[in-house]
Amino acid sequence: MSIKEWVTMDLDGLELLEVSEYEEKRVQSFVLSKQKRPSVYKNIAIALTCILGITTATAFAFPTVASQIPFMKNVISYFSDDSNRYKNFEIYSSDIGQVQSSNGISVMIDRAVYDGTNVTVSFAVETDEDLGENIKPMQGMFNILGADGSAGSMKINKISENRYIGLATLTPFFENNINPDSVNISWQPKSFYSLSKEREFSGDWSFAFTLTRLDGNIMLLNKFVRSNDINFTVQSIEFTDLSTIINYEQLVSDEIVSKWGSVTPIFEISDNLGHIYKDRSGGGGGIAISNRSGNYLKGSTSIGAIEAGATQLIVKPIAIATLLDGEEHIEVELESIVINLER
Amino acid sequence: MNSNLDHFIVGLKKQKEDALAYIIKMYLPLVKTITTKILFRLSPFDIEECINDVFLSVWKNAHQFQGDAADFKKWIGMIAKYKAIDRYRQYEKQREREHVDELLNHKTHTLLPEHSLLQQEEKTMLLFALSQLSEIDSEIFIMKYYLELSNSEIADYLNLSKAAVDNRLYRGKKVLAHNKRLKELMV
């Protein structure tokens, strides 16, 4: 049939298909579920916050030797940077320098940057009382105004008695995938929870600041690799002075989805000079949204700026198929995608 | 029977859940038949998604419906038909895109999937606004602005002359001109 026949279809003369009660219920619960949450993505994004929070935290290792750099400045230098992710953070981020003290705890936002996809914020905390090794802010995610939700992670490390430094990475998700040219960010942690003391230290801190996106160049690719069950496409790469964002799509067969439940990619990313930007350990910013049946996924992953002199970027996707309860998984290694950098 | 249906159409506009259940019972067979016919090449998942989309948008836009029970059947059938055709065309475009790699560097902006996705909300709004026009006009306007067909394609599909289509679009636009939001969408 053609569009012409469809357009002129006689709706009264159709031989109607049968519909089960189950189908009716399914449509009804779909419609009602949407009514209660206006944004489809919000819940997914919140779920992702938890997942990414766990996986990315491992990416930051902390140097044991105390540095001589004055406290509460240059926070980023306290985080190890094996994958080059923060190399240019100091140069391209904005100095925020907001400090607030409440109930003997001072919090300072040091620097922050928005590359068009991810927001990275460094901050520091100083306490009068010893809060122990591990602290975390309660109800303390950074809020990006106007975003439907965001995925991200936060890591706080103790650097000396009563002093902590923190780094938060967020990938906001905006309606219709349109990321704005600037973002307004607010942060109002209600308290800091000390894991070792099992106690909350509450206070009143409130920060707000605006970041303008870094200029970037987008390179369209649509390069794909496929295996029997998986079709993986790198759609585009965006380069900024701070970071490199790889946008991808993944299409997997119904068979593999019905067998495994969830298929998500991890990456090995390197260049022709041998620099490694990402190994399998995960980490770094990223967000992925899949459709309801789980066979289509669209996402992005971020690495640091590409080293000068590199002319090719090599992206090797590895699809991880897992049972939804996480008990078992398989890895499907795809061929590497080689991208020539026009620079 | 029909007075019963009228009652539920009013309920639907007031967002009553029992009215939704009734409307689904009455029209799911029709919507399923239409979408299955048009999307026969796509997966059952796509068809299901399209059906869900039709009922969700009808639920959200019920307040825009004007008419009685007989009109309602035409209305929901038309929404289902055009939503399905639109989805089918997106699917076709996607397939073409997979084959035509070398065109990429030239026609970049049209190849970003976001380009069509981001307008989905607005498109649905347009579809419902246009569905309020008189029967033949609404079909022409939907084909032109929702499906983005050319005037000669529309003429061919409806067995009209191209001049007749041009003329109806011209006159219809004047009628629609008082709706500011709609005007923006059609530019």
ipTM of the complex: 0.81
Predicted TM-score (pTM) of this structure: 0.43
CB atoms within 10 A of CB A215: 10
Minimum distance, in Å, between the CA of residue B32 and any CA atom of chain A:
7
Segment A294-337, tens digit of pLDDT: 788 888 888 888 888 889 999 999 888 887 666 778 888 899 99
Query: Residue A57 — very low, low, confident or very high, per pLDDT cuts 50/70/90?
Result: very low
Residues of B in contact with A8 (CB under 8 A): 157-158
Q: Chain A within 8 Å of B59 (Cβ-Cβ)?
A: yes
Q: Chain A within 8 Å of B81 (Cβ-Cβ)?
A: yes
The structure tokens 């819940």 sit at A43
Residues of B in contact with A237 (CB under 8 A): none
Q: Where are the alpha helices (DSSP H) in chain B?
A: 2-13, 17-38, 44-60, 69-99, 108-111, 113-117, 120-130, 135-141, 151-158, 162-176, 180-186
Hey, what are A21's tokens? 């009660």
Residue A37 has pLDDT above 80, yes or no: no
Segment B127-174, tens digit of pLDDT: 888 887 777 788 888 888 888 888 998 998 888 898 989 888 888 777
What's the confidence (pLDDT) of residue A284? 43
Residue B187 has pLDDT above 80, yes or no: no
Higher pLDDT, B5 or B78: B78
Distances in Å between the Cα of A110 and the Cα atoms of A136, A187, B41, B54, B144 are: 17, 13, 55, 49, 53
Nearest 5°: the CA angle A39, A189, A148 is 10
Contact assignment for A4 to B32 by CB distance below 8 Å: no
- Looking at chain B, which residues constitute the CATH 1.10.1740.10 domain(s)? 8-91
Segment B110-137, tens digit of pLDDT: 434 444 544 677 778 778 888 877 777 8
Minimum distance, in Å, between the CA of residue B139 and any CA atom of chain A:
8
Hey, what are B21's tokens? 């259940």
Distances in Å between the Cα of B67 and the Cα atoms of A13, A301, B36, B70, B77 are: 21, 50, 27, 8, 14
Q: What's chain A's average pLDDT?
A: 77
**Spatial contact of A191 and A203, defined as CB atoms under 8 Å apart:** yes
Contact assignment for A4 to B156 by CB distance below 8 Å: yes
Segment A116-133, tens digit of pLDDT: 888 889 888 888 888 888
What's the confidence (pLDDT) of residue B178? 65
Distances in Å between the Cα of A331 and the Cα atoms of A216, A254, A286 are: 33, 17, 19
What's the confidence (pLDDT) of residue B83? 92
Beta-bridged to residue A224, according to DSSP, are A233
What's the confidence (pLDDT) of residue B106? 46
φ/ψ region of A318 (left if φ > 0, alpha if ψ in -120 to 50, else beta) reads beta
Q: What are phi and psi of A239, to 5 degrees?
A: -110, 130
- Looking at chain B, which residues constitute the CATH 1.10.10.10 domain(s)? 112-185
Contact assignment for B17 to A177 by CB distance below 8 Å: no
What's the confidence (pLDDT) of residue A39? 41
Residue A43 has pLDDT above 50, yes or no: no
**Spatial contact of A87 and A305, defined as CB atoms under 8 Å apart:** yes
Residues of A in contact with B92 (CB under 8 A): none
The structure tokens 């995608």 sit at A337
Hey, what are B147's tokens? 């499906």
Rounded-to-integer distance, Cα B96 and Cα A66, Å: 58
Q: Would you tell me which residues 104-163 of chain B have a C-beta closer than 8 angstroms to some C-beta of chain A?
A: 104-105, 108, 111-114, 117-121, 139, 143, 156-158
Chain pair A-B, CB pairs under 8 angstroms: 113
Minimum distance, in Å, between the CA of residue A72 and any CA atom of chain B:
41
- CATH number given to B112-185: 1.10.10.10
What's the confidence (pLDDT) of residue A313? 92
Q: Chain A within 8 Å of B28 (Cβ-Cβ)?
A: yes
Rounded-to-integer distance, Cα A79 and Cα A283, Å: 13
DSSP structural state of residue B146: I
What's the confidence (pLDDT) of residue B183? 62
Closest CA to A265 of A285, A277, A282: A282
CATH of B8-91, one of 1.10.1740.10, 1.10.132.20, 2.60.120.10, 1.10.760.10: 1.10.1740.10
